[in-house]
Amino acid sequence: MANSKIIIVEGPQGTGKTTITDFIRFSLNYTNLYRLCGTSDITPAGLKKATIMYENLLTYIKSLENQSINLLFDRTFFTEEVYCRLGLKQYSFTKEFNRLASHLNNMDFDIYYINLYLKNIFLFEKRLKREGKVAPDYLNFSTDNSIRQQNCYLQLAEEIKENYKNIKVYNVSNDDSLDDIKEKISNILF
């Protein structure tokens, strides 16, 4: 495999993806950070939009093989799969997800899938107080939504471990201090 990395940071709302991806971005040389939020179209037409968007993303990533660059993602098509599994969209993404994950798995990068979660679910309430931010109805920042998402992300991480051997999966608890989580991430990536 190449020395270049693809690092995908996923997890429910409130687990610290933005903080962790910012840390990685400024700690790992030659790293581009991409923050993706998927398509807001929850209707069946959204399936086509999401599929085209993520196919184009993988084509772009493939074009960067062997370019000595690291690619860091704050969410990708894994989130689309989780949101569909939770019934937040009116379509299934599983067929497309499996095809996209297989394509990613075969790329010439060191691929890391970091799934952030909270052992102490009561931390969600504290972390989800987002002053001045308005989300669409289907993305309400609530403890219950984050717990449901977390359970789905943890299940998906196990499926990725089992089915996609070139994707290194790490479930990382982000309950501790910022210095502790930075050390955990550093031990994985550096």
Q: What is the mean pLDDT of residues 54-59?
A: 96
CA distances 107 to 62, 146, 165, 166, Å, are 7, 31, 12, 9
| Position 140 pLDDT exceeds 70 | no
Range with lowest mean pLDDT among 28-32, 35-39, 90-94? 35-39
User: CB of 64 within 8 A of CB of 71?
Assistant: yes
What are the boundaries of each domain within the chain? Answer: 5-130+138-176
User: CB of 189 within 8 A of CB of 110?
Assistant: no
- CATH superfamily assigned to domain 5-130+138-176: P-loop containing nucleotide triphosphate hydrolases (3.40.50.300)
| Position 143 pLDDT exceeds 80 | yes
Give the β-pairing of 167-173 and 110-117. parallel
Residue 131 banded pLDDT, cuts 50, 70, 90: low
Q: What is the mean pLDDT of residues 59-76?
A: 94
| Position 149 pLDDT exceeds 70 | yes
| Position 112 pLDDT exceeds 90 | yes
How far apart CA 70 and CA 54 sit, in angstroms, is: 18
Give the β-pairing of 167-173 and 70-74. unpaired
Q: In terms of pLDDT, which residue wins out, 92 or 123? A: 92
How far apart CA 190 and CA 185 sit, in angstroms, is: 8
